[in-house]
Amino acid sequence: MSARAGAAAEAQLERAWWLRVPAVLLAPTAVFAALRDDSDEAAGARQEPITALVGLAGIAGVLTTPVARRLLDDTSIGTALVPVWAFIGGAVYGIALYWLLGLFLYAAVRGLGSLGDHRRARHLLAYAAVPLALSLLALWPVRVAVYGSDLFRSGGTGRGTGDAVFSALNAAFFAWSLVLLAIGVRAVHGWTWPRSLAATALAAALPALVVLASLL
């Protein structure tokens, strides 16, 4: 194969993995089944969409933390710094969870008999996080337009009924990601639903406890 043909094939493979980002919301089984190809070429082709997903999901996650909800209580931090904080904090948050939760998922599926590696577990997790990335684009612009900087102050106007509605919608996106994770485990490994749900529950148990503890 010539260098030009090889570059064209690589570009086509990368486009295919970008197209699978929205497709995972409509046809998740087919998208996750494609993750069975864990060759270096396939893994490299999906690296850019995975990086984008991890970053967007990380920003969405960091904006829901208690730190974000009282960020502007510190008078030394101006409103203009909130997007910068969200971008940097979200990148760090997303990368940390990508590796840590990927490790939990890898340990869970290995414990139940998988022969897959840590890389494939991380990639599965990233594509399952598409709803979390979508929540950043679908929910936060509306909420910022309605409540503005009060979202980042304790006791602001965004902390009433509207906040409860937003929290419920955010939880729905999180639940959607968990459902996709279970579908992904089943599709990648060809397991039964009970086995797939058990792996998903094991992988999510510790992070769920950490999240609950942070909300108390």
DSSP three-state, residue 116: coil
The pTM for the full model equals: 0.91
Decide if 28 is inside a domain.
Answer: no
In a domain, 24, yes or no: no
Q: Which residues constitute the domain of residue 134?
A: 46-215
Count of other CB atoms within 10 angstroms of residue 78: 10
Q: Does residue 12 lie within any of the structural domains?
A: no
Residue 20: inside a domain: no
pLDDT recorded at residue 29: 97
Tens of pLDDT along 123-132? 999 999 999 9
Domain membership flag for residue 175: yes
Minimal CA–CA distance to 27: which of 127, 122, 135, 174?
A: 127
Look at residue 80 and tell me if it is in a domain: yes
Q: Is residue 144 part of a domain?
A: yes
Q: What is the pLDDT along the chain (216 residues), one digit of tens a residue?
A: 566 777 788 899 999 999 999 999 999 999 999 999 999 999 999 999 999 999 999 999 999 888 898 899 888 888 999 999 999 999 999 999 999 999 999 999 999 999 889 999 999 999 999 999 999 999 999 988 888 888 888 866 555 667 788 889 999 999 999 999 999 999 999 999 999 999 999 998 866 665 565 555
The Cα-based distances of 208 to 45, 157, 212, 215 in angstroms read: 31, 28, 6, 11
Give the per-residue pLDDT at 167: 85
pLDDT digits (tens, 9 = 90+) for 55-88: 999 999 999 888 898 899 888 888 999 999 999 9
What's the total number of domains in the chain? 1
Residue 13 maps to a domain: no
